[in-house]
Amino acid sequence: MNTAMKGVARLVCVTAGVFAACGPNTRDKGGTGTKLENYSAVAPGAPDSVHLIAEVSAGDWRMPTGDYGGLRYSTLDKITPANVKDLRVLTTFSTGIPHGHEGQPLVFKNTMYVVTPFPNNLIAVDLTKPGGAVKWIYEPHPDNRAVGIACCDVVNRGATYAGGNIIYSLLDANVVAVDAETGKEAWRTRVGDINKGETLTAAPLAVKDKVIVGNSGGELGVRGYVVALDVKSGKELWRAYNTGPDSDVKIGASFKPFYQKDRGKDLGVSTWPPDQWKLGGSTVWGWITYDPETNLFFYGTGNPGVWNPDLRAGDNKWSCAIMARDADTGELKWAYQATAHDAWDYDEIMENVLVDMTYGGRMRKLLIHPGRTGFVYILDRETGELLSAELFEPTNWASSYDLKSGKPNEDPTKRTHFGTVTNNICPSSTGAKDVIPSAFSPRTGLLYIPAHNTCMNYEAIEANYIAGTPYLGADVKMFRGPGEYQGELVAWDVANNRKVWGVKESMLPVYSGVLATGSDLVFYGTMDGWFKALDARTGQELWKFHTSSGIVGNPVTYLGPDGKQYVVIYSGIGGWMGAVAFPEVSEDDSYAALGVVGAMKDIKKMTAAGSSVYVFGF
Amino acid sequence: MSLVFSAIVAAVALLPLRVCADPNNLPYSNAAGAGFENKIAELVAHDLGRTLSYVWRPQRRGFVRETLNAGQCDVMMSVPANFGPAMPTLPYYASSYVFVWRRDRTPPIASLDDPRLRQWRIGIQITGNDYNNPPPAQALARRHLLNVRGFTVYGDYSQDEPQRAIVDAVARGDVDTAIVWGPLAGFYTRGQPALAIAPVSPPYDGPGLQFVFEIAMATRRADRVLHDALNVVIARRRADIHRILREYGVPMTAEPRTENRHHDS
């Protein structure tokens, strides 16, 4: 299959008359060992100006981000702009868990692997049989006390595959490896403690002989980290914290941040009041990507814990930062803090998409980070230099970034202070996008960003109560931002730092991941349940289908046993913003779902809980 | 009409009083029934002529939504008297955040404006969730007193008394003082003559910031029958309830006579 696929890829290069693109577009990466089956080192039809940094999906989907660069791009091109109108549902089945279905399945060797929301069952589906035939279901039975600790629904963001095992996080802060053939548990490692408020929702990423994953739970005063486990045994090999002394953060002689603001000794301690880094949040609940050439892996960190900003004077490093670490040792090579002393809950856990392309007149090694803050950050991934930061949605907390200092030009009146009313802050805490990932097409050079347009008022104080203790909470009200829309799929021209088109949603954010394909199609879903295919170049809607529940998962495409191309998406509303759809979340409880109720009050009329997997094809 | 009402009351009386409670949260409640909320629940159930049962769940985000408001149980034994997500009864006591200190190390302290606080390490509670902090955190931030140590109210839930760490830190001298919700501080300093407590002054610290909270029970908003029955018990057994609270060392402040806002409807 592997050889056959490459044959197809080469053929496309020739017939498309872009033979020259196939040569420089292929790069010997070295160091990564074996090639992935049903992956492609080339993206047929991509211009000479865009180079892949790792193989992309070409029939299988073996890692949560699709590929190490996080492109969520497949070379598959059998479903085309011309025939997509005939796409129809071939199989649908229920996972049985009516909660937010974030994440995406893995697909290889004629099997689809689906991780459910808590209780985090793993379902293996035999693709050689019709009707979503279940091979086996692995039930890990995680500690159900984790349910009350998770902040924003009991989601899971998917599994990765390594060493014959499907490896994924459990909400109760364990990581499990399950034999991909038999469904038997190979190992289980506890990496965090739910008794201290830690949970795991992020997808691990396997790199060589290690699997790397980060923790969740920043709002409960935990301390963020990434941990590397041995793929074979699950044994913990190293752990790197995002706050605290340099030894804990794994900062040594090779740490070379680009900007002065990020340089200094023990900044993870000195940029906090005494000891507050111990409760400093900065967790890692988003996506990890990896560059085989530099052997660096990249992730973003969450907001600083745990107090309101007035009580945690300082930059609060390394919260709200993009981190580049050595994949063997975990050592920090550079860090870029996007917002210092966060006052808005702008976690920067968003994906870091990796690609080499002509940028500013020369070939550069890029890291593209569409931020919670409303800016698309483009950095040199070797050095951490900020090359550009431009707005992709209405934003007023800052107007621009100074590329010389790496700092935002902020509007100080938009900073929140407890006891002070601050109106019309854009974006709201949910950001101009959240953890839901974008896709990049090497053919179009466009990043497809699932975006929100939501603002907030930081208002009066109300008495609340937890664990026997009365306290005061700021009443955060979120609402639709300017321009009569709340969601948008944004096509961002990376080389030219500009939006080229957007498809707007009137009432709801776009909270679904995106998939781009080799035939210039873009797939994504909406929170009211539509699954859509757009022309990747123009944004024209070519096809849509209404699923039974809102979509907060990420589409995946694969080649079936019959050699045909399929597209799969989860349909199950939930997650932070989507949880408002659940009947038990009251529209008049301003604290539910951390303040998003105001922005999401219409969702109950537009969708309801679901737990379905939809497979489309011809 | 009153016949029908009496019939409902009679029918309800046959069912156990189902209390939503945390199984490991002393001094409030635990699965062994050793908390003051357990004792008050026993008193209330007895007074209503009903048996008592519990639905146990750690008090975390979603507790009200997934226990009381999901219909799994019928009453929470304590919430602030103006609590929004459920229907509070009349308040049955009021308490205050208090300073806790060790007599042999620290002179008495009661005021947030005491200049000695500038030199001290101060322990405070953490309630979690973005944008939410207990009132001492805000009061200290306003005064630029940032030398604080945080102790989550959830504590280490694998231990038997997750919340006592903040008082232990004062006893050990890890912090010079701590500002702690009264019932917790009172319970863990009771019988420890080396430790002292005093209500935080001022009790109202500028707009919106308060240290005194009135505490009520709560039912679902639609559960008028139980709500009214609880109000009758609270009125009739107030002295007995207060005796339980005193046994647990809960420091009580005078209750302002506020109207319950849910009575207006």
List pLDDT tens digits, range A378-410. 999 999 999 999 999 999 999 999 999 999 999
User: What is the residue-averaged pLDDT of chain A?
Assistant: 91
Q: How many domains does chain B have?
A: 2
Contact check, Cβ <8 Å, A473/B142: no
Q: Tell me: pLDDT of B161 over 50.
A: yes
Q: What angle do CA A551, A557, A560 make, to 5 degrees?
A: 125
φ, ψ of residue B111 in degrees (nearest 5): -105, 135
Q: Tell me: pLDDT of A542 over 80.
A: yes
Cross-chain CB nearest to A594 (options B129, B137, B159): B129
Partner B, chain A 462-521, Cβ-Cβ below 8 Å: 462-474, 476
> pLDDT by residue (tens digit) across A514-539?
999 999 999 999 999 999 999 999 99
φ, ψ of residue A42 in degrees (nearest 5): -120, 155
In a domain, residue B262? The reply is no
Contact check, Cβ <8 Å, A474/B129: no
Q: Is residue A110 flagged as an active site residue?
A: no
- What CA–CA distance (Å, rounded) separates A135 from A110? 11
| CATH code (residue B246) | 3.40.190.10
Judge whether A229 and A293 are in contact, CB under 8 Å.
Answer: no
> pLDDT by residue (tens digit) across A104-158?
999 999 999 999 999 999 999 999 999 899 999 999 999 987 876 666 678 999 9
Q: What angle do CA B112, B115, B120 make, to 5 degrees?
A: 85
Pick among B38, B40, B60 to test the A interface (most A CBs inside 10 A): B60
In a domain, residue A526? The reply is yes
Which structure tokens are listed for B162? 């997750």
> What's the confidence (pLDDT) of residue A485?
96
Query: Do B84 and B6 lie in a common domain?
Result: yes
In a domain, residue A20? The reply is yes
- A275 torsion bin: left (phi>0), alpha (psi -120 to 50), beta (else): left
> What's the confidence (pLDDT) of residue B142?
87
Contacts (Cβ under 8 Å, ≥6 apart) of A293? A27, A29, A30, A31, A53, A365
Query: Whole-angstrom distance between the N-terminal and C-terminal Cα of chain B?
Result: 21
| CATH code (residue A510) | 2.140.10.10
In a domain, residue A169? The reply is no
Kindly indicate the confidence band of residue A30, based on its pLDDT and cuts at 50, 70 and 90. very low
Which structure tokens are listed for A613? 């997997």
Judge whether A51 and A15 are in contact, CB under 8 Å.
Answer: no
Query: Do B54 and B11 lie in a common domain?
Result: yes
> What's the confidence (pLDDT) of residue A277?
94
- What CA–CA distance (Å, rounded) separates A596 from A578? 9
Residue of B nearest to A311 (CA): B141
Q: Tell me: pLDDT of A418 over 80.
A: no
Q: Which position has the higher pLDDT, B79 or B154?
A: B79
pTM metric for this prediction: 0.90
- In this prediction, what percent of chain A has a pLDDT beyond 70? 92
Contact check, Cβ <8 Å, B148/A419: no
Contacts (Cβ under 8 Å, ≥6 apart) of A154? A99, A100, A117, A118, A146, A147, A171
Find how far residue A47's CA is from the centre of its chain.
26
- What CA–CA distance (Å, rounded) separates A331 from B246? 55
Contact check, Cβ <8 Å, A463/B66: no
Q: Is residue A352 flagged as an active site residue?
A: no
In a domain, residue B261? The reply is no
Helices B36-48/B224-247 angle, 10° precision: 130
Residue of B nearest to A458 (CA): B131
Q: Which position has the higher pLDDT, A560 or A603?
A: A560
Per DSSP, what are the bridge partners of residue A569? A614
Pick among B20, B26, B61 to test the A interface (most A CBs inside 10 A): B61
Question: What's the whole-number mean pLDDT along residues A426-455?
Answer: 97
Cross-chain CB nearest to A469 (options B63, B125, B141): B125
Residue whose pair of structure tokens reads 């109207």 in the numeric block = B259
Partner B, chain A 265-294, Cβ-Cβ below 8 Å: 273-276, 278-279
In a domain, residue B263? The reply is no
Query: Do B60 and B134 lie in a common domain?
Result: no
In a domain, residue B47? The reply is yes
Judge whether A384 and A512 are in contact, CB under 8 Å.
Answer: no
Partner B, chain A 219-238, Cβ-Cβ below 8 Å: 219-221
Contact check, Cβ <8 Å, A308/B141: yes
Domain that holds residue A61: 1-100+436-618
Q: Tell me: pLDDT of A455 over 80.
A: yes
Question: What's the whole-number mean pLDDT along residues A201-230?
Answer: 92
Report the complex ipTM: 0.89
- What CA–CA distance (Å, rounded) separates A101 from A198? 21
Kindly indicate the confidence band of residue B2, based on its pLDDT and cuts at 50, 70 and 90. low
> What's the confidence (pLDDT) of residue A17?
34
Query: Do B179 and B190 lie in a common domain?
Result: yes
Beta strands in A293-361 (DSSP E): 296-300, 321-326, 332-337, 353-359
Tell me which chain A residues have a C-beta less than 8 angstroms from the C-beta of B121.
Answer: 274
In a domain, residue A521? The reply is yes
In a domain, residue B265? The reply is no
> pLDDT by residue (tens digit) across B51-88?
999 999 989 878 898 899 999 999 999 999 989 889 99
Tell me which chain A residues have a C-beta less than 8 angstroms from the C-beta of B63.
Answer: 148, 466
In a domain, residue A143? The reply is no
Question: What's the whole-number mean pLDDT along residues A277-299?
Answer: 96
- What CA–CA distance (Å, rounded) separates A371 from A449? 10
In a domain, residue B210? The reply is no
Tell me which chain A residues have a C-beta less than 8 angstroms from the C-beta of B78.
Answer: 465, 468
φ, ψ of residue B46 in degrees (nearest 5): -60, -45
Burial (CB < 10 A; 0-12, 13-18, 19+), residue A486, is buried
Supply the Cα-derived Rg of chain A in whole angstroms.
Answer: 22
SS3 content of chain A, % helix, strand, coil (to 5): 10, 35, 50
Which of these, B57, B61, B52, lies nearest to B16 by C-alpha position?
B52
Number of Cα atoms under 13 Å in the Cβ half of residue B54: 18
Query: Do B80 and B152 lie in a common domain?
Result: no
Q: Does A145 touch chain B (CB under 8 A)?
A: yes
In a domain, residue B259? The reply is no
In a domain, residue A159? The reply is no
Q: Tell me: pLDDT of A14 over 50.
A: no
Contacts (Cβ under 8 Å, ≥6 apart) of A382? A294, A365
> What's the confidence (pLDDT) of residue B206?
81
Sign for the pseudo-dihedral over CA of B124, B128, B133, B135: negative
Beta strands in A215-288 (DSSP E): 225-230, 236-241
Kindly indicate the confidence band of residue B92, based on its pLDDT and cuts at 50, 70 and 90. very high
Chain A closest-CA separation from residue B109 CA (Å): 21
- In this prediction, what percent of chain B has a pLDDT beyond 90? 72
> pLDDT by residue (tens digit) across B228-262?
999 999 999 999 999 999 999 999 998 654 444 33
Q: Tell me: pLDDT of A422 over 70.
A: yes
Kindly indicate the confidence band of residue A589, based on its pLDDT and cuts at 50, 70 and 90. low
In a domain, residue A441? The reply is yes
Q: Is residue A326 flagged as an active site residue?
A: no
Query: Do B114 and B142 lie in a common domain?
Result: yes
Query: Do B65 and B104 lie in a common domain?
Result: no
Tell me which chain A residues have a C-beta less than 8 angstroms from the C-beta of B137.
Answer: 307-308, 311
Question: What's the whole-number mean pLDDT along residues B187-198?
Answer: 96
Helix (H, G, I), strand (E, B) or coil at A10: helix
Query: Do B155 and B226 lie in a common domain?
Result: no
Query: Do B169 and B220 lie in a common domain?
Result: no
> What's the confidence (pLDDT) of residue B3?
56
User: What is the residue-averaged pLDDT of chain B?
Assistant: 90
Domain that holds residue B61: 2-92+215-254
Judge whether B262 and B89 are in contact, CB under 8 Å.
Answer: no
Helix (H) or strand (E) holding A210: strand A210-214
- Edge-to-edge order in the sheet of strand A160-162: A160-162, A165-169, A174-179, A185-190
Contact check, Cβ <8 Å, B150/A276: yes
Q: How many domains does chain A have?
A: 1
Query: Do B98 and B167 lie in a common domain?
Result: yes
Contact check, Cβ <8 Å, A419/B208: yes
Kindly indicate the confidence band of residue B127, based on its pLDDT and cuts at 50, 70 and 90. confident
Q: Which position has the higher pLDDT, A34 or A312?
A: A312
Lowest mean pLDDT among B7-21, B92-106, B164-178: B7-21
- In this prediction, what percent of chain A has a pLDDT beyond 90? 79
Contact check, Cβ <8 Å, A303/B126: no
Q: Which position has the higher pLDDT, A203 or A4?
A: A203
In a domain, residue A258? The reply is no
Partner B, chain A 15-74, Cβ-Cβ below 8 Å: none
Judge whether A62 and A109 are in contact, CB under 8 Å.
Answer: no
Judge whether A387 and A359 are in contact, CB under 8 Å.
Answer: yes
Q: Which of A25, A156, A242, A303 is catalytic?
A: A303
Chain A closest-CA separation from residue B99 CA (Å): 15
